[in-house]
């Protein structure tokens, strides 16, 4: 089994989406979504943009995976469809893609254009991996992200670089033990709001690498 680690550049509560009792990664990180297997861990570390270097924003063990069409049709995840005039949690739903006659449809969402119309660049990037990761064993800390002991990060030679890093589970034994013991009280909980939760109405475009308020 493997551990996938990357720097969380934006933390709205959209990717991953930790709400409604299940943590899902349905957009962004197409390589991670394509390759991560059941039992693997995906861990998001804070970056300089969030002033959270060295802190763990979330960790999810993959307990399931499905296609976008399966995710869309599954009644368990109906509440993860976005409602842009709803609460902050509802606005940030990540169940935004399905196909009709072979064409991708994108709901009005965080990944749409500022006027709510489909963002073709985001559609292309997100659907580059037709796979949604599901976790029923996760930690989501948001703005209460704990600092990972420096010795643990040094042990795995972790640095805040672009892209993601892949480790074998035994290489991250110290990190996983720290997570599942010292943070065990927070299992399957949203401990605190995402860093950018107050911007829940914002949109993001990968083509501009820009957040539109």
In this structure, is the dihedral angle defined by the CA atoms of residues 123, 166, 46 and 43, taken in order, positive or negative? Answer: positive
Q: What is the pLDDT of residue 154?
A: 94
Residue 89's H or E segment, with its range, is helix 88-91
Give the strand pairing for 41-46 and 2-8: parallel
With beta carbons less than 8 A apart as the criterion, state whether 40 and 62 touch: yes
- Residue 4, classified by CB atoms within 10 Å of its CB into exposed (0-12), middle (13-18) or buried (19+), is buried
Tell me, what's the pLDDT at 159? 83
Q: Which of 147, 196, 190 is nearest to 49 (CA)?
A: 196
The model's pTM: 0.96
In the predicted model, what is the mean pLDDT of residues 54-78? 98
pLDDT score for 163:
80
- Among 10-14, 106-110, 147-151, 209-213, the least confident range: 209-213
- What are 164-185's pLDDT values in tens digits? 999 998 999 999 999 999 999 9
Radius of gyration of the chain (CA): 16
Confidence tier at 162 by pLDDT (50, 70, 90): confident
Q: Find out whether 92 and 172 touch, Cβ atoms under 8 Å.
A: no
**Spatial distance between the Cα atoms of 23 and 173, rounded to a whole number of angstroms:** 22
């Amino acid at each position: 089994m493997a551990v996938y680690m990357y720097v969380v550049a934006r933390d709205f509560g959209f990717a991953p989406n930790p709400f409604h009792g299940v943590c899902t990664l349905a957009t962004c990180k197409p390589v991670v979504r394509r390759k991560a297997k059941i039992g693997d861990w995906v861990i998001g570390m804070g970056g300089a943009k969030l002033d959270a270097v060295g802190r763990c924003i979330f960790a999810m063990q993959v307990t399931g995976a499905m296609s976008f069409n399966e995710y869309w049709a599954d009644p368990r995840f109906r509440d993860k469809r976005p409602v842009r005039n709803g609460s902050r949690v509802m606005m940030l739903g990540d169940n935004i893609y399905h196909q009709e006659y072979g064409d991708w449809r994108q709901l009005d969402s965080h990944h749409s254009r500022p006027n709510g119309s489909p963002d073709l660049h985001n559609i292309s990037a997100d659907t580059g991996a037709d796979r949604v990761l599901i976790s029923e064993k996760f930690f989501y800390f948001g703005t209460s992200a704990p600092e990972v002991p420096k010795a643990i990060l040094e042990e795995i030679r972790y640095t805040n670089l672009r892209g993601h890093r892949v480790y074998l589970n035994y290489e991250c034994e110290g990190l996983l033990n720290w997570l599942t013991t010292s943070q065990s009280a927070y299992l399957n909980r949203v401990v605190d709001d995402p860093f950018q939760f107050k911007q829940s109405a914002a949109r993001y475009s990968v083509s501009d690498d820009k957040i539109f308020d």
